[in-house]
Amino acid sequence: MNVRDSVDRALGPVAPDAGCESAAVNFAQYADGAVAGEDVSRAFPHVANHLAACPDCNQDYEGLVNCVRELAVSSEDTPPPPEH
Amino acid sequence: MDETLKLSPGAVAHLGWLRESSRLCLPGEAGTGRIGAIETPALASEQPAGGASHVAPALDANSRAWLAALRASGPDKDGALRKLHALLLRAARHEAYRRRPSLPDPVARDLDDLALQAADDALLSITGKLDDFRGDSRFTTWAYMFAIVEVSSKLRRHAWRGRRLNFDEEQWSRLPDRLAGPDDQAEGRELLRALRDAIATQLSARQREVFIAVALNGVPIDVLAERMDSTRGALYKVLHDARRRLRACLEEQGLGRPQLKETQ
Ligand SMILES: [Zn+2]
C-alpha cells in the first residue's frame, strides 16, 4: 500500500454517513438483502458508506452476514409450537 | 424477566450494565439520544438511512410465530425463551470461533464463556426491545444481530485488555517515517508531513486522541469508548469530524484526494 492509500484509508471515505446507531437499525434488513443477492448498497447508501468508514460496525456486520449465510436453517430457527 | 428462564450467573447484572451504560449501538436506541450520532449535522443521519423508500414487507410466518411465542405467557413463553437463547448462543459461538484465528491466546481459550455471556446479554436485550422489531428483516436475523454485537464487543475488549492506549506525541509525530517506505517519493513524504501537521494544529485534543488511536493504530472504537467512558456512536462522530477537518486541511494545500469532493 502506498502513502496515498494509507492516508486515504486513515481519512476514511468521502461520503454521507449514517452514523453507528442509524446504520445499526438497518443492519438486519441490510444483511437479509445482501444474503438474498439484493443491491443493498444502492438501497441504503448511507449504511454502506458507514460500513466503509467504521471498523467496528463493519466487523459486526460481516459477522452478521456470515452468521445468516452459514448457520443452516434448523429447528432452532423456529419457536416451539404452542402447548395448547 | 421470566423467573423460570435459566441464565448463567451474572446475567441479571449484565442487564443492568447493558441498559445503564451500554457502549454498543443496538437497534432501537436510536430515539433515546444517548448515542450522539443522530443529532450531528456532520453525519447524514438526519436523512433516512436508506436512500430508497422502504415499506416493511408483511412479516413472514416464522417471524410472526417467534413474536407470538415471546409475547405469550407461561410455558409457551418459557419454551420460546429457551429456544431463542439456544439460537443466540449458536450465533455467538459461530462468530467467536470464526474470529478465533485473529484472537490472542487468552481470548481464544475463553470463547465458550464469552459466547454464553453474549447470548445471555442478547436475550435480555431482545426481550426488552421486542416492540422495536420492525418486521423489515427475518426475526432470526434481527435476533442474531444482538448476539453478534454482544460477542464482538466482548472479543474486542478482551483482546485489548491490559494494553496501553496512550499514543504519545513522539510516536505519531514520526508519521512520515512510520508510513513512508524507503521507496516512497518526496510527494508521499510531503503528504505525510502535511497530515502530521494537520493532526497537531487542526484537531481538538479529543479528536486527536480518537483519530490517532482508531485511524492510525487500529484500536477498536468499542475499546476506546470503554476507556474514555463514552459510546461507540459518540466516538465515531468524533472520528468522523476529525477526518473531515483533516481532509479539508489537506485539500486547502492541494493535497486532497484526487477527483473526490465531499458531497454533504
Ligand atoms: Zn459504526
CATH number, domain of B247, equals: 1.10.10
Average pLDDT of every residue of chain A: 89
Q: In the prediction, which pLDDT does A18 show?
A: 87
B138 vs A: CB within 8 A: yes
Q: Is residue B52 part of a domain?
A: no
- Tell me, yes or no, whether B76 and B114 share the same domain: yes
Q: What are phi and psi of B103, to 5 degrees?
A: -100, 145
> Do B234 and B36 meet the contact criterion of CB atoms below 8 Å apart?
yes
pLDDT confidence tier of residue B172, bands split at 50, 70 and 90:
low
A31 vs B: CB within 8 A: yes
* Burial category of B189 from C-beta neighbours within 10 Å (exposed 0-12, middle 13-18, buried 19 and up): middle
Cβ count near A35 (within 10 Å): 17
Q: In the prediction, which pLDDT does B244 show?
A: 95
CA distance A75 to chain B (A): 9
Q: What is the pTM of this model?
A: 0.80
ipTM of the complex: 0.90
Q: In the prediction, which pLDDT does B258 show?
A: 73
pLDDT one-digit tens code per residue, B186-213: 778 888 889 999 999 999 999 999 999 9
- Tell me, yes or no, whether B185 and B112 share the same domain: no
Q: In the prediction, which pLDDT does B12 show?
A: 37
B130 vs A: CB within 8 A: no
pLDDT one-digit tens code per residue, B6-17: 445 444 343 333
Q: Is residue B15 part of a domain?
A: no
CA distances from A26 to A46, B28, B123, B170, B239 (A): 10, 10, 19, 41, 21
B248 vs A: CB within 8 A: no
Say if residue A65's pLDDT is above 70.
yes
CA distance B212 to B165: 10
Say if residue B185's pLDDT is above 60.
yes
The full set of domain ranges for chain A reads 3-77
Yes or no, beta carbons of B261 and A14 under 8 Å apart: yes
A73 vs B156, higher pLDDT: B156
pLDDT one-digit tens code per residue, B24-33: 344 444 333 2
CA distance B98 to A29: 22
Q: In the prediction, which pLDDT does B163 show?
A: 86
- Tell me, yes or no, whether B179 and B149 share the same domain: no
Q: Is residue B9 part of a domain?
A: no
List chain A residues with CB under 8 Å of B152: 56, 59-60, 63
- Tell me, yes or no, whether B155 and B235 share the same domain: no
Yes or no, beta carbons of A67 and B236 under 8 Å apart: no
CA distance A34 to chain B (A): 11
- Tell me, yes or no, whether B229 and B196 share the same domain: yes
- Tell me, yes or no, whether B136 and B67 share the same domain: yes
Q: In the prediction, which pLDDT does B36 show?
A: 29
List chain A residues with CB under 8 Å of B98: 63, 66
- Tell me, yes or no, whether B116 and B143 share the same domain: yes
CATH code of residue B121? 1.10.1740.10
Ligand 1: centre distance to CA B19 (Å): 19
Yes or no, beta carbons of A32 and B141 under 8 Å apart: yes
Say if residue B130's pLDDT is above 70.
yes
- Tell me, yes or no, whether B239 and B194 share the same domain: yes
List chain A residues with CB under 8 Å of B78: none
The cell numbers describing B126, all together, are 431482545
HEC readout, B120-140: HHHHHHHHHCHHHCCCCCCHH
Percent of chain B with pLDDT over 90: 55
CA distance A52 to B87: 29
* Burial category of A75 from C-beta neighbours within 10 Å (exposed 0-12, middle 13-18, buried 19 and up): exposed
Q: In the prediction, which pLDDT does B16 show?
A: 34
Q: Which domain holds residue B235?
A: 169-252
> Do A31 and B141 meet the contact criterion of CB atoms below 8 Å apart?
yes
Yes or no, beta carbons of A46 and B189 under 8 Å apart: no
Say if residue B62's pLDDT is above 60.
yes
pLDDT confidence tier of residue B181, bands split at 50, 70 and 90:
low
Smallest CA-to-CA distance from A26 within A49, A2, A3, A53 is with A49
Q: In the prediction, which pLDDT does B177 show?
A: 66
Domain final residue, candidates B95, B129, B160: B160
Average pLDDT of every residue of chain B: 79
Q: Is residue B11 part of a domain?
A: no
CA distance A54 to A47: 10
- Tell me, yes or no, whether B131 and B86 share the same domain: yes
